[in-house]
Amino acid sequence: MTRTATITRKTRETDIACTLTLDGTGVASISTGLGFLDHMLTALAKHSRCDLELSCTGDLHIDDHHTAEDCALTLGQALDEALGDRANIARFSSAYAPLDESLARVVIDLSGRPFASVTIPFVRESLGTIATENITHFFQSFATTARTTLHVDLIRGDNDHHKAEACFKALAIALRQAVAVDDTAGMPSTKGTLT
């Protein structure tokens, strides 16, 4: 079975197409109109070993918020759909990722219950054309539609670019482990369902 999902989302604010393949090789084709977000999503695909195609045309003449939020919502929905009933997956994972002086930790539970705790103390207001507050919001929005419990914590760091990238890479590694097929897991829940 191929664990792939294609999601389209069109509103007055954004027009997004996303295809996610969980059992890929890390190939990415990303075009959001926000260069730094493209960079982060490319890193996410590479280190999760998921294949990701995501294109977005957004109302960037207003600001970056709708684009960042809706890309996260669409990606989360694609993950949710690609996981199906979530049987035979590892479900839980944690990962650390450094980038030079920065160190991030991500803990994930593909529980079916959305929750996000994100602590990244940025200093700069923006990275490229994306506000740093929208990087935090990206993780929160992703967790909502992915129906995932997500904890993202920057442990240390000085450079804001490095902080963000370490967090995305830690998420990638945690995702790769959590979505891994485990044929002995059955439905990985004592209650018999992940909702």
Domains of the chain (ranges plus CATH)? 4-178 (3.30.230.40)
3-class state of residue 23 by DSSP: coil
Pairing of strands 28-31, 14-21: unpaired
Which tens digits make up the pLDDT trace of 77-130? 999 999 999 989 999 999 999 999 999 999 999 999 999 999 999 999 999 999
List the chain residues with pLDDT less than 70: 1, 185-195
Burial class (CB in 10 A: 0-12, 13-18, 19+), 141: buried
Q: Can you count the helices (H) and strands (E) in the chain? A: 4, 10
Please give the pLDDT value at position 187. Answer: 64
Element (H, E) at 79: helix 65-83
Query: Residue 65 has what pLDDT?
Result: 98
* Pick from 185, 194, 80, 54: nearest CA to 142: 80
Residue 2: predicted pLDDT: 84
Closest to 195 measured CA to CA, from 83, 94, 106: 83
**Cα separation of 18 and 9, whole Å?**
9
Helix or strand run (H / E) with residue 150: strand 149-156
pTM, two decimal places: 0.95
Q: Is 2 exposed, middle or buried (0-12, 13-18, 19+ CB in 10 A)?
A: exposed
Task: State the pLDDT at residue 193.
Answer: 66
pLDDT score, position 178:
97
Q: What's 85's DSSP letter? A: T
Report yes or no: 116 and 150 within 8 Å, Cβ to Cβ. Answer: yes
